[in-house]
Amino acid sequence: MLTFAILCNYVSIRTYYQCIYPLQFERTVKAINEHIVAYHELPEIENVHYKKLDYGTIPKTYGVETFSFDKNELAVLSYYSSVTLHDQLYEVKINRYYKSNDGPGTGVIIFALLISAGLFFFLNWLFFRLSIKRLTFNMWKPYYSNLRRVNAYNVGSNRPLQLVNTDIREFNLFNEAILRFTGNAQKSYEQLREFVENTSHELQTPLAILLTKVELILKHKDLGSAEAKELIEVKQIIQRLSGVHKGLSLLSRIKSIQCCSYYDKENVNINDAIKDSFEIYEELIAFKEISVTIEESLQLTLSTNIELIKILVDNLIRNSIQHNYHEGVIAVQVSEEGFKICNTGVEAPMPGKDMFSRYHTSSKDSGRLGIGLAIVEAICETLHFTCEYSSQTNLHSFTIKIN
């Protein structure tokens, strides 16, 4: 620290003599030049001496000489410059006399003190800022570490949330509240998941038994036409209930995967998935005499979950067939950004944003559940895709964009 202070004082003194102190001499040289321009002669000024310089001599630059002492023990400070009169170069020497105890060192000391004081306050301010910043960083470091852990936490994971303990009472209280909240959320999620799984398992068997019994009764020869008609309606209700149950179970499973943010991935060819889905509904397409065209600009391969992709494509294609009319058209486009499925059909009576609402369907067919597009939307959210719907007159389009 002492070495630094000595160095600062040395730099201050050098700066003073080279930049600040010569200003008073420069004003004198400027006055001499103005007098030469006005009167074409060298002015007589006390303590200013002139000397002719030989032709070709390089003019001296401004500079302050070191102290010297004359016969009267006065400190002499000489300053050199040059001026030109009638194409003749003259050396200008300006002397300043000081008593030995009253030299220009007073100004140097004042200047050095000002620089040192300014540097002292600046360094103290800088040290204070750095210390506060470091102290604040160390104090808030556990908070930001816990914040990252909370943001990365999934309620569907089996592992409880682990937070960093601190010496700050308020942070510990906040951690306890977060752990209590996430623990309750995880417990509620597990209970809900078990309820859905149990309900799905327990309902599927009675529905299958009911459907089998109704079909057996319908095979009796002594069954009247009125009773047969009522049993057929019961059969349709059971089938619809079974379909709703399967759709809701699938939707719940997709939401569960979405909460966990984890699913198996493998390379899936979207082009092949679309073609396989059309093959499944080949008979229905032929029955309605629908024209299908697939435009492939490339082979779109994604690293994603193959099961979810098949459900997504299947729901969109089934939707395009069910809501199409006889001798309609289905056009599929596959590009680098994703794929688009267009189909003819009755103009939608509601805006496109309602298309993905659960149980929404514009069809009058009571056998349609209205949750297919809700499943599509859930899969897109899980896989981080974007699903957009648009319609023009009797042409409906669903665009899946890969983000």
76 membership: H or E segment, kind and range: strand 74-85
Q: Is a pLDDT exceeding 70 seen at residue 221?
A: yes
Phi, then psi, of 288 in degrees rounded to 5: -90, 0
Q: Assess contact for 399 and 332: CB atoms under 8 A.
A: no
Q: Is a pLDDT exceeding 80 seen at residue 232?
A: yes
Domain boundary among 205, 226, 261: 261
Does residue 220 sit in the same domain as residue 289? no
Does residue 3 sit in the same domain as residue 51? yes
The fraction of the chain above a pLDDT of 70, given in percent, is 78
Does residue 276 sit in the same domain as residue 385? yes
Residue 30 domain-assigned (yes or no): yes
Does residue 213 sit in the same domain as residue 288? no
Look at residue 62 in the predicted model and tell me its pLDDT. Answer: 53
**pLDDT tens by residue, 267-325:** 999 999 999 999 988 989 999 999 999 999 899 999 988 888 888 998 899 889 988 98
Look at residue 365 in the predicted model and tell me its pLDDT. Answer: 47
**pLDDT tens by residue, 321-369:** 988 988 999 999 999 999 999 999 877 655 555 555 544 444 444 444 4
Number of neighbours of residue 109 by Cβ within 10 angstroms:
14
The fraction of the chain above a pLDDT of 90, given in percent, is 13
Residue 78 domain-assigned (yes or no): yes
Residue 121 domain-assigned (yes or no): no
Range of the domain at 367: 266-402
Residue 146 domain-assigned (yes or no): no
Residues 6+ positions from 314 with CB-CB distance below 8 Å = 277, 280
Does residue 208 sit in the same domain as residue 299? no
Domain boundary among 69, 104, 139: 104
Does residue 98 sit in the same domain as residue 187? no
Look at residue 364 in the predicted model and tell me its pLDDT. Answer: 46
Does residue 394 sit in the same domain as residue 298? yes
Does residue 296 sit in the same domain as residue 385? yes
**pLDDT tens by residue, 157-167:** 777 888 888 88
Look at residue 377 in the predicted model and tell me its pLDDT. Answer: 86
Q: What is the mean pLDDT of residues 219-240?
A: 81
Does residue 323 sit in the same domain as residue 398? yes
